[in-house]
Homo-oligomer: A and B are copies of this chain.
Amino acid sequence: MPTAFERHDHSACSHAALVRADELAAARGLRLTPVRRRVLEILLERHRALGAYEVLERLSAEGLGKQPPVAYRALDFLVENGLAHRVQRLNAFAACQSDHSDGHAPAFLICRVCQNVEEMDAATLRSALGSQADALGFEVERLTIEALGRCAGCAAEE
């Protein structure tokens, strides 16, 4: 798989993610309603993270809902079911582009120039942090790892 920062046939990313979403919905009996599916498609258009209000604008233009709760509810649904992630640093949301079907909690690389977001496997980091935390008696439930920086392409251009 190419990274989010490379030029690539993005329709393949997008299509694969939608297929995974449909499979997941079927397997778990989730209701991937028109609004929810459309929000996922919108997020999948790029590797950028979108703010809830950016998503809402798109929905609104398509007659799928004009008020913030519509966007937030769909986004929350996607996040809860692992189809999208919240990027804390940006107060924004990105579709999950990884092929782990379930329960993964990746690290994110965020390019501050092109704004693309790449998911990176964080299993090693998770377990390293987990044992450090264990030593302090702390039980980790959710882990956020986000790196802000510059991707190779943007570094080359500057």
A148: Cβ under 8 A from any B Cβ: yes
Residues of B within 8 A of A26 (CB): none
Question: Is B145 a contact of A129 with CB atoms below 8 Å?
Answer: yes
Closest B residue to A151 by beta carbon equals B138
Residues of B within 8 A of A144 (CB): 88-89, 144-148
Return A74 CB to nearest CB of chain B, in Å.
22
A93: Cβ under 8 A from any B Cβ: no
A141: Cβ under 8 A from any B Cβ: yes
A124: Cβ under 8 A from any B Cβ: yes
Question: Is A129 a contact of B152 with CB atoms below 8 Å?
Answer: no
Return A109 CB to nearest CB of chain B, in Å.
5
| Count of residues in A whose CB is under 8 Å from the partner chain | 35
Question: Is A151 a contact of B129 with CB atoms below 8 Å?
Answer: no
Return A117 CB to nearest CB of chain B, in Å.
11
Give Cα A149 to B155, complex, Å.
36
| Residue interface bits A78-115, CB-to-B below 8 A is 1, else 0 | 00000000001100000000000000000101011000
> Known pairs A118-B136, A125-B129, A143-B147. 18 more at Cβ < 8 A?
A107-B129, A109-B133, A109-B140, A120-B136, A121-B132, A128-B128, A129-B147, A137-B151, A138-B149, A138-B150, A141-B147, A141-B148, A142-B147, A142-B148, A143-B145, A144-B144, A144-B145, A145-B145
